[in-house]
Structure 1
Amino acid sequence: MSDLAKTERFALAIDAMGGDDAPGMVVAGLALAAERHPGGRFLLVGDEARLRPLLAAHPRARAVCTVRHASEIITGDMKPTVALRLRQSSMRLAIDAVASGEAAGVVSAGNSGALLALAKIVVKTLAGIDRPAMAATVPSARGDVVMLDLGANVVCDSRNLVEFAVMGDMFARTVLGIPEPTIGLLNVGSEELKGDDRLRQAADMLRASPMGARFHGFVAGHDIAAGTTDVIVTDGFTGNVALKTGEGALRLMGGLLRQVFTGSLMAKIAYLLARTGLDRLREWLDPRRYNGAVMVGLNGVVVKSHGGTDALGFAHAVDVAMNMVTHGFTAGIAEGLSKVAERERLPAPGQEESLIEGLASPLAQAK
């Protein structure tokens, strides 16, 4: 494995040192991802002395990776303001590669706050987007749905929520392959009078926009699992609580099933009879399958992997990033925004209606 050639273009830059079990988990995950993306090239950024023995043990990962040494590490408890000053950290150098065009995207299982701060400052947001949002797919009775924001913006105004709806719409089209995704605004109930002024204003704006025909209205927490809409829009505080609650519920279900089918001899026999179906259920509900939250609204693909995941979960996060890169997700949003800019100047905060009329029209044509 040779030193990095500056002219080489990488699909993804990988923060090798982010995550509870990094860098071992990261390299093992890349070995799995290499089987699914044999044509992909990855810039692996981290402590070279620790990475080379791991890559020697994972020849598939070694074949698709080029190592770039990073002398610093952003820890999980480090404040974003401190992380921003570490110019030679693995996370910073990986993000720098995206900003310079050396890589199309980045995947990190490191500090969420630091990743968001670095992405906003280094990669920067797309023109016309006030704030990026964190989006991810979650399971439902009707298939996968996209939910955002999941923690990037704890406090949001109506403009932010409408922007999230536009970005979620594009996510559902390009990643989930849904041509006409329906949109719901998460609230304490589905009645029109529920919620605060911010939610009601966002709902009014969405109803009046070209997306209005696909705007379902308010949805409650149980609608997430029911798959009532393809896109669930909320603020980062509520979304993160809902996501963590769902993850906990899935783990509880798995633990209860183990107790039920190991409690007696008859239960064990029943498990053997139902094993095929239970294995399918376990695979479908495995939280690792949904690992990989995307920070949408940036000038590049930025994917946050769960810090406590294992190699399989990290491989899924790489899958998400590769899917976004392959389908031109960022270019799709940028194209829609550029069409708006050609017709009129993008509005300042408070001029939400003209923003939505402009954004939704070109995005509604994207397939």
Structure 2
Amino acid sequence: MGGDNAPQTIVEGVEIARDEFLDVEFVLYGDRAQIDPLIHNTDRISIVQADEQIDMNDEPVRAIRRKKNSSMVMAATAVKNGEADALFSCGNTGALLAAGLLLVGRIKGITRPGLVSTLPVVSSDDQSFNLLDSGANADSKAEQLYQYALLGKYYATSVRGIKEPRIGLLNNGTEPHKGSKLTLEAHDLIAADESINFVGNVESRDLLEGVCDVVIADGFTGNAVLKAIEGTASSVMHLLKNTIMNSGVSGKLGALLLKSSLGEIKGKMDQSQYGGAVLLGVKAPVVKAHGASDAKTVYYTIKQIKSMIDGQMLPNFTEYFSAQQQKEDQAAVVDKK
């Protein structure tokens, strides 16, 4: 029920995905009276009535605790109980993150799950990069940034099929000795792990050029960079369109000749094809798409979720961090003795 054009665009996107992915079943939580008339074919689509809805003005944690019959809480509970494999919403971001933490639950060994977003690389036709954390936590510790590097590595390997993803740490310079206390400590922790293909510090101006496959940042900085990139892309496209429309007959004719090339630029910057933002570090995929998402974005996000499940991303996460936690627990017992 969440999103600017819900539930119509959600249902449309689900039906597109249902027709392509024959091994996936969909459970839609919300107002049956609104959802049912929109479904053209009920094959592998079911509806669960939810009498409440969390809107954009609700305080996230309070809404999750009080609105037990909301579509988001009911869907998250189904994932928690093993009745569903993943949770996807276009609704209140804070509430979805709270549902992921409080209901779905953290993987043992993860201190703070992070939000990973996918953004385009403009110098390549088929390349993109991940930004983690892109807004789940405003404040982070060095140990958490190190965990994000591990989470980002497994995500890029399992979902995007990159064997040795290049991991970069977002900073105000590429030199190892530059940065804040947080980034200096995080740099040393990540660099010390030989299992990570760490390329060192990276600057925000180089991100769209494909300097690395996964960019690590604290949530405050990551979210600011994400919105700056989104805003710049939108502004450039509007500027280009206004320039063409105000350039007279010759400019419009030129644009007509370049229509195919301009379409490629627009398609490259279209974030709908990259799916939603994923909360990494919880026991099941929890994915958030933009409130203004159309059916195409919903479809691509479902495709992304299917890749996460098929790639066994969560079992890899759980196995690794459980082993790490066990080592730490054993070391603590030895120290105590």
- With normalisation by structure 1, the TM-score equals 0.85
Equivalent residue for 1:277?
A: 261
**What pairs up with 1:50-129 in 2 under 5 angstroms?**
50-55=34-39, 58-59=40-41, 62-84=42-64, 85-129=66-110
| Distance 1:158-1:343 versus aligned 2 partners, 3 A rule | closer
- CA deviations over 1:165-197 (Å, ceiling 9, x no partner): 100011111111110111111112222232211
Equivalent residues of 1:139, 1:285 under 8 A apart: yes
Q: Following the alignment from structure 2 to structure 1, what is the Cα–Cα distance between the partners of residues 331 and 5?
A: 44
Q: Following the alignment from structure 1 to structure 2, what is the Cα–Cα distance between the partners of residues 157 and 276?
A: 46
Equivalent residues of 1:144, 1:176 under 8 A apart: no
Query: Is the counterpart of residue 312 in structure 1 residue 296 in structure 2?
Result: yes
Q: Following the alignment from structure 1 to structure 2, what is the Cα–Cα distance between the partners of residues 236 and 122?
A: 21
- CA deviations over 1:23-79 (Å, ceiling 9, x no partner): 112112212222332331101100111111111xx33xx323100000000001100
AA aligned opposite 2:134: L
Q: Following the alignment from structure 1 to structure 2, what is the Cα–Cα distance between the partners of residues 240 and 96?
A: 28
Query: Is the counterpart of residue 229 in structure 1 residue 212 in structure 2?
Result: yes
| Distance 1:268-1:38 versus aligned 2 partners, 3 A rule | farther
Equivalent residues of 2:284, 2:314 under 8 A apart: yes
Equivalent residue for 2:203?
A: 220
Per-residue deviation, 1:311 = 1.8
**What pairs up with 1:152-167 in 2 under 5 angstroms?**
152-167=136-151
Aligned to 1:121, the other structure's residue is in SS state helix
Equivalent residue for 1:357?
A: none
- With normalisation by structure 2, the TM-score equals 0.92
AA aligned opposite 1:257: L
**Structure 1 residues not aligned, in runs of 5+:** 1-16, 349-367
Equivalent residues of 2:134, 2:222 under 8 A apart: yes
Query: Is the counterpart of residue 194 in structure 1 residue 174 in structure 2?
Result: no
Equivalent residue for 1:133?
A: 114
Q: Following the alignment from structure 2 to structure 1, what is the Cα–Cα distance between the partners of residues 152 and 34?
A: 38
Aligned to 1:134, the other structure's residue is in SS state strand
**Could you tell which deviates more after superposition, 287-296 or 198-207?**
287-296
Instruction: State the percentage of identical aligned residues.
Output: 35
Equivalent residues of 2:119, 2:130 under 8 A apart: yes
Equivalent residues of 1:152, 1:236 under 8 A apart: yes
Q: Following the alignment from structure 2 to structure 1, what is the Cα–Cα distance between the partners of residues 230 and 70?
A: 30
Equivalent residue for 1:257?
A: 240
Equivalent residue for 2:154?
A: 170
Per-residue deviation, 1:97 = 1.1
Equivalent residues of 2:104, 2:283 under 8 A apart: yes
Aligned to 2:117, the other structure's residue is in SS state strand
| Distance 1:346-1:189 versus aligned 2 partners, 3 A rule | farther
